[in-house]
Homo-oligomer: A and B are copies of this chain.
Amino acid sequence: MTLLVSGWVALDAIETPFAKVKQSLGGSATCAALAAAQFTDVRLLAAIGEDFPEGEQAKLEGRGIDLAGLTTIEGGTTSRWGARYHYDMNTRDTLFTHLGVNDGWKPVLPAGWEDSSTAFMAADDPQAQLGLLGALPSARATMVDTIQIYIDTAKKGVEAAMRAADFASVNETEARQLTGQASIAKAGRALVEAGAKAALIKLGEYGAVYASPDDYFVAPGYPLEDVVDPTGAGDTFAGAFMGYLDTAEVTPGEVRRAIIYGSAVASFAVEGFGPSRLLELTRDEVEERYREFRAFTHFEEAG
């Protein structure tokens, strides 16, 4: 069983009220791949520039991630993104986005990777996502994510990619923007009515909502104590979700477990800058947090 992860590998500059880093390993695919690697074998499909530090590549290899799809673009520079978080750590200003090698790059599946059992396509041009989905006809579970810029510029494409995948992952703002529904419950239902096979709406610190034709699930947020850097939490969530699902049957009960694993791994990710916490995370820690999560949320039937 192998999960394909595609998206961005980037270098991030992040400022919080408490600290800053100038050039930290980042990007949607990085976070998702590291999270998924807790559960299964991961193949990473992304573009980097010649300036990408070897040390960062070694970090990914150190977690057992297959980098045969990590493509160095000759003469290109790695994508860079900078942001500053406000005091509450829930809102941020994007300081800059340099597309670099991701400007126009179209991911192509390396030879032999058609047998990936599952796939997660982090936010990207929806045509690129659709191309990859078409190249993976036998994958038994696929998920696409998106970001605001593609909803603004290519909404029909985003909707087509969401219909083509088994799971569509969006955050709260994106769910409202795509559906025009203020209610999260209605937005989830509307995404399914618009053709998504299942919708996962990430609510940040408040957890997640899952809607499909045959299930509806609401998970509260893990009680976070010290948020050092929320960057990439959504991709971490999605990566862990798909990583767990790669090892399980795709049933409503397992999907619920996958959401809790997603929350658990994301709750670690925000404890450090960039993916630093994920680079040292152990499966035992993840299992312990899953158990805590259940202890924090369980309640009995009515007496």
Q: Which residues of B contact A218 (CB under 8 A)?
A: 220-223, 296-297
Q: Of the candidates B216, B227, B257, B302, which one forms a contact with A296 in the assembled complex, judged by CB atoms under 8 Å apart?
A: B216
Q: Which residues of B contact A89 (CB under 8 A)?
A: 182
Q: Which residues of B contact A248 (CB under 8 A)?
A: 303
> A190: shortest Cβ distance to chain B, in Å?
11
Within 8 A of B (CB), among A36-89: 87-89
Q: Taking CB as reference atom, which chain B residue is nearest A297? A: B218
Within 8 A of B (CB), among A202-226: 203, 205-207, 209, 216-226
Interface size bucket, A side?
35 or more
Q: Which residues of B contact A88 (CB under 8 A)?
A: 182
A291 part of interface (Cβ distance < 8 Å): yes
- Is A225 within 8 A of B291, CB to CB? no
Q: Considering the chains assembled together, what is the distance between the CA atoms of A232 and B256 in angstroms? A: 32
- Is B303 within 8 A of A185, CB to CB? no
> A198: shortest Cβ distance to chain B, in Å?
15
Q: Of the candidates B226, B257, B296, B297, which one forms a contact with A183 in the assembled complex, judged by CB atoms under 8 Å apart?
A: B226
- Is A290 within 8 A of B303, CB to CB? no
List residues of A whose CB falls within 8 A of some B CB. Answer: 87-89, 182-186, 188, 203, 205-207, 209, 216-227, 248, 253-254, 256-257, 259-260, 287, 290-291, 294, 296-303
